[in-house]
Amino acid sequence: MSIFVKYLLIQVLLYFVDYGVFIIFLFISNDTPVYANIIGKISAGIVGCIVHRRFTFNISDSHNRYAHYIKYFSILALNIPLSSGILSLLLTFFPYPKPVKFLSDVICLFISFSLLKYFAFTKNLTTKTKF
């Protein structure tokens, strides 16, 4: 199974976490969809870090684990504002937060995969990463 297929399978599972938390926060709080998006992304990101490292990128040893985690959460720290910015932009044209969140996440999916594969979960951290 290719790395991208594994990534997509895990992302579908993580999306249930992300989207579920997003929906819950939309219903229980008076906050904006952007705030709910941030909470959903953080929740899915915590689970995703461990699962992507082990399953998607097949890294099971403890060598460089913390370096991988730091890089993963650095990417997550970039992804959250990117996703929230796209969400905000799309909400100016379409006032429906649930489908707009899905669309903004699809746009970010390919960006995140590339960053994870070529930056966060490289097996040899001493080799210069090529983009």
Average pLDDT value for residue range 105-124: 80
Range with top average pLDDT, 2-6, 87-91, 121-125: 87-91
Question: Where does the pLDDT of residue 16 fall: very low under 50, low under 70, confident under 90, or very high at 90 and above?
Answer: very high
Which position has the higher pLDDT, 6 or 119? Answer: 6
Tokens of 127: 């080799």
Predicted confidence (pLDDT) at residue 125 exceeds the cutoff of 80: no
For the segment 59-93, what is each residue's pLDDT rounded down to a tens digit?
A: 877 777 888 888 889 888 988 999 999 999 999 99
**123 to each of 8, 11, 48, 120, how far by Cα in Å?**
20, 21, 17, 9
Would you state the pLDDT for residue 32?
Answer: 83
Q: What is the pTM of this model?
A: 0.74
Contacts of 50 (CB under 8 A, 6+ apart): none
| Calpha distance 56→30 (Å, rounded) | 36
- Per the CB < 8 A criterion, the answer to whether 71 and 119 are in contact is yes
